[in-house]
């Protein structure tokens, strides 16, 4: 079968990565989580005092931009890729609430997007890739052969994220998570550069009331058609 690019965009915590990972596994494609890349930049900014009291020192971030190296390495034990920031595995750190609260403002910055989009486009050079994010079908790969736009109600998404973090042993508050999901949606959709929106040729799936398996089968059919 011809190798293609599959672009999956959508709102925060609506299961994009679960779908993308399952598809990549089934098709033997590479999976790239672009949210992890924005999260890694955010972690770098936190660790290098670029963010103080929620204020981003953009000048300093630009100055240090070349010092940010992000790559994904396959974790045999877990059967998935881990995110590395400057040769350090940051997979767990980038999923916590501190990074989640600051990642949307970081991802509104033009020079950050320029750097990450260029990297993402390079990764798609040989096709056979499933990439998820907010602007994959609109900006990164406007020519992607298959584009999916996922959504679900904010409450359903917050509940899923709550369960995920609780299962990892994090002490979290449901209202904080709901607030985070809604705030991120607002910033992601309202920003000037590459706002979250459904590409005209993307297929919309609202998974508020459908399960992971049903959604997977539905998208797999689209891939095969």
Q: Interface with ligand DC includes 161 (CB under 6 A)? A: no
Q: How far apart are CA 186 and CA 195, in angstroms?
A: 10
By the rule CB under 6 A, 124 interacts with ligand DC: no
Q: At what angle do helices 174-190 and 154-167 cross, to 10 degrees?
A: 120
Question: How many C-beta atoms lie closer than 10 Å to residue 192's C-beta?
Answer: 7
Q: How many CA atoms, within 13 angstroms, populate the side-chain half-sphere of residue 121? A: 13
Task: Examine residue 104 and tell whether it contacts ligand DC (CB under 6 A).
Answer: yes
How far is 132 from 8, CA to CA, in rounded Å? 5
Residue 3 C-beta: closest distance to ligand DC, Å: 21
Contacts of 66 (CB under 8 A, 6+ apart): none
Q: Which is nearer to ligand DC, 38 or 149 (CB)?
A: 38
Decide if residue 39 touches ligand DC (CB under 6 A): yes
DSSP assigned state of 199 = -
Under rule CB under 6 A, residue 133 binds ligand DC: yes
Binding residues among 181-220 for ligand DC as defined by CB under 6 A: 184, 188
Of the candidates 7, 24, 61, 103, which one interacts with ligand DC according to CB under 6 A? 103
Q: Is residue 102 part of the contact set for ligand DC (CB under 6 A)?
A: no
Segment lying near ligand DC (by CB under 6 A), choices 74-82, 85-93, 99-107, 145-153: 99-107
């Amino acid at each position: 079968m011809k190798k293609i690019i599959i672009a999956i965009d959508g709102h925060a915590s609506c299961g994009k990565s679960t779908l993308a990972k399952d598809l990549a596994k089934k098709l033997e494609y590479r999976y790239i989580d672009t949210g992890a890349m924005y999260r890694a930049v955010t972690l770098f900014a936190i660790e290098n005092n670029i963010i103080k009291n929620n204020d981003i020192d953009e000048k300093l971030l630009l100055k240090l931009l070349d010092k940010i190296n992000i790559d994904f390495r396959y974790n045999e034990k877990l059967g998935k890729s881990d995110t590395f920031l400057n040769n350090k595995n940051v997979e767990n750190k980038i999923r916590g609430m501190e990074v989640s609260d600051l990642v949307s403002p970081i991802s509104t910055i033009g020079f950050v997007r320029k750097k990450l989009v260029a990297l993402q486009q390079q990764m798609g050079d040989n096709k056979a890739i499933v990439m998820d994010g907010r602007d994959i079908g609109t900006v990164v790969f406007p020519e992607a052969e298959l584009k999916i736009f996922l959504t679900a109600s904010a409450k359903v998404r917050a509940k899923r994220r709550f369960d995920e973090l609780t299962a990892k042993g994090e002490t979290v508050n449901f209202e904080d998570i709901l607030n985070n999901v809604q705030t991120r949606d607002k910033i992601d959709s309202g920003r000037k550069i590459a706002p979250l929106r459904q590409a005209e040729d993307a297929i919309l799936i609202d998974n508020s009331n459908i399960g992971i398996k049903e959604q997977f089968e539905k998208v797999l059919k689209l891939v095969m058609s």
